Amino acid sequence: MSASSPDSRPPSIGRRTLLGAAAVATPAVLGVATPAAAAPSPAASASARKKPRALPGGGDLGPNVIVFDPSTPGIQARLDQVFRQQESAQFGTGRYALLFKPGTYNGLNAQLGFYTSIAGLGLSPDDTTINGDVTVDAGWFNGNATQNFWRSAENLALVPVNGTNRWAVAQAAPFRRMHVRGGLNLSPDGYGWASGGYIADSRIDGQVGPYSQQQWYTRDSAIGSWLNGVWNMVFSGVEGAPAQSFPNPPYTTLGTTPISREKPFLYLQGNDYRVFLPEKRTNARGVTWGNGTPRGTSLPLSQFYVARPGVSAATLNQALAEGLHLLLTPGIYHLDRPIQVNRAGTVVLGLGYATLIPDGGVTAVQVADVDGVRLAGFLVDAGPVNSATLLEIGPRGASRDHSANPTTVQDVFVRIGGAGAGKATTSMVINSRHTIVDHTWVWRADHGEGVGWETNRADYGVVVNGDDVLATGLFVEHFNKYDVQWNGQRGRTIFFQNEKAYDAPNQGAIQNGSIKGYAAYNVGDGVTTHEGWGLGSYCYYNVNPSIVQHHGFAAPVRSGVRFHNLLVVSLGGQGQYECVINDTGSPTSGTSTVPSTVVSYP
C-alpha cells in the first residue's frame, strides 16, 4: 500500500521482529523488604506491636508526573525531552504522566513513546484543548507499528494541525475520553504494519482511517465515519459506526454495550486534585460527557494514599486497611506480598504505567469478593520466580451478586517476560461475579529478554470462573496452553484478539490430549450460556512452521453457547488451523494470510 494512494485493501502481512540488540537490563529492585540479620530486641518487639501511625492521604505526585498549564514555558521542549528518552525504550524503566490543566494550548505536537500517558485535567475533554497533535508513529522501528505498546491518551480535545491526528499503536495503548476535532489516522507514516487497538468514550468529528490496522475495538463513542477494515473491526455503542457486515467488510457492530462504566480519572477542581468515578451505564451508546458534567461521583486526593516507587507492599496494605484508596505514581514497585484490596468501593489507579513486579512467586493484587472495586491504569510484570497467579479478582468460590455495583478492571495490563525472565502459571483469574474487564492486554512476551518456550513459561492467560462476567476489549497472546479459559456461566466477550505462542518447538509441545493445540479461547464443558462477538485468533509458529493448530475456539455445542463473527488467520503460512471453532470452519492454507471465518455458531 503506497502512501500516495491508500485504499481499503488488506495489506500483505509483516510480523513483529525480535529486538536482538535492544535488550534492557531488568530494573533494580525497589522497596523489597529484607529480613533482619538478627532477632529483634524486646523493646523493638514491643514497639512493633503498637498500632502503626496512620498514613497521610494526598500529597505530591512525584517527579514523573509533569503538570503543565497554558502559561508554562518550554512545554514543547519538555515533551520532546520525554519522547527522546522513551521513544524506543520498549523494556526500559522510565514511566511518565504528562498532565495538562484546563485551558488552551497552541502549536504543540506531543509525541508519545513507551510508558507515557498524556491526559487533560478537566471534567470534560473540551475543558483542555490542544491546537496541535498527540502523535504515535513508528519511525523508531522502521515504520512498523506492531510494537507500539504501553502508552495512552485521555481527556483532551485536539485540533490537529493538518486536520488529522496520527495514532499508530498496537496493544495496551488506550485512546479514552478524547475529542478529535478532525480525523484520526490509526496507521504509521508510510502505511506500515499496525496491530491495535482500543477507543472508548471518545468523539472523532471526522473520519477514522485504520488503513493497515489488523484489528480494532471502539466502544461507546461517536465518529464521523470509518474508512476500512483489514481483519476484525468491532464496534459497540458507537454513533456513526459502519453497519454490520462481517466478514466483508469485517465489521461487527452492536448498537449498544450491555454494561459499561468508564475508567476513573484524575481532574482538578480549582487547585485541588480529585478522582472522578463515572457511573455504571446499561445498554450504553455514545460518550458520557456530551451534555455537560459527566454522571458519577468524585473523591478528593486526600482520600488516596499517593504511592511513590520504593514503598513496600506492607505500607500499601496499611493504607488500604486504614480506608485509603491507592494512587500509584509512575515508576516500578517491587512487591514481597500481595496488595490486598478488601474494602468495597476501593480505587487503585495507576498513572504513567505504574508497574507492579511480584517477587518470590507472590500474587501482585488480590481483590476480595466485595462490591465496586475499580482497578485501572497499571502494568503487572511477572517476576523470575513463578507466581501461581498475578492478579486475582475475588477468592476461589466467590459467589456474591455484584450486579448493582460490579468490579471493573480497566487498562490493567499483564506481561510475562520481555523486560527479563518472568513466569506465572495463570496471569489473571476472575472469580467474582459480574466483573467487567474493559480493555486488557495479557501478554506472554514473544521478544525481548527472558523469552523462550520454558524461559517465560505461562500456561494460561485469563481464567474466568465467576458467573456473569463481561469482557469488552480482550487481548490475550502467546500462552503455552489456553490463552482464555472461561468456566463461568453467562459470560460475554465483545472483541477478542489473540496470537498463539510463536515459539512452540514442535507439534508435541502443544498437543492437548487427542487435539492438536490448545484453543485460544476455550469455554468449559459445564457452561450452558455464553456469548461472544468479533473474536480472532492468529498463528505464527516461526520456530516450527509445520505445526498444525486444530482450531482457534472451543466450546460445548449447546444452543445457549453462541458466537458471532469468528476468524482464524495463519500469518504467512507459519503454521495452520484446521478449523475455526470446534470442528467447524474451513482450514487456513498456504501463505496468503487470508482469514477463515465463521459468521454464526452453532
Return the active site residues: 499
- Return d(Cα 281, Cα 178) in angstroms, integer: 19
Q: Give me the sign of the Cα torsion angle 146, 151, 156, 161.
A: negative
Q: How many residues does the chain have?
A: 602
- Return d(Cα 398, Cα 82) in angstroms, integer: 44
- Return d(Cα 328, Cα 351) in angstroms, integer: 6
Could you give the strand order of the β-sheet that contains 553-554, starting from the edge strand earlier in sequence?
A: 339-341, 365-367, 387-393, 424-430, 460-464, 484-486, 521-523, 553-554
- Return d(Cα 179, Cα 222) in angstroms, integer: 9
- Which residues, in sequence order, are bridge partners of residue 29? none
Q: What backbone phi and psi angles, to 5 degrees, belong to 80? A: -65, -35
Burial of 38 (0-12, 13-18, 19+ CB in 10 A): exposed
Q: Are strands 265-269 and 521-523 parallel, antiparallel or unpaired?
A: unpaired
Q: Give me the sign of the Cα torsion angle 287, 408, 492, 234.
A: positive
- Return d(Cα 467, Cα 216) in angstroms, integer: 27
Q: Which residues are CB-neighbours of 226 under 8 A, at least 6 positions away?
A: 207, 208, 210, 233, 235, 240, 241, 242, 251
Of 585, 491, 494, the closest CA to residue 533 belongs to 494
- Return d(Cα 30, Cα 334) in angstroms, integer: 6
Q: Which amino acid is at 236?
A: S
Cα torsion 161, 1, 445, 475 to 10°: value is: 70
Distances (CA, A) of 472 to 119, 312, 340, 388: 22, 33, 25, 25
DSSP line for 23-86: --PPPPP-S-----SSPPPHHHHHHHHSPPPPPPPB----TTEEEE-TT-TTHHHHHHHHHHHH
Of 221, 153, 208, the closest CA to residue 472 belongs to 221
Residue with cell 475475588: 394
Most distant CA atoms of the chain, gap in Å: 79
- Under a CB-based contact definition with an 8 Å cutoff, are residues 112 and 153 in contact? yes
- Return d(Cα 70, Cα 147) in angstroms, integer: 33
- Return d(Cα 568, Cα 518) in angstroms, integer: 14
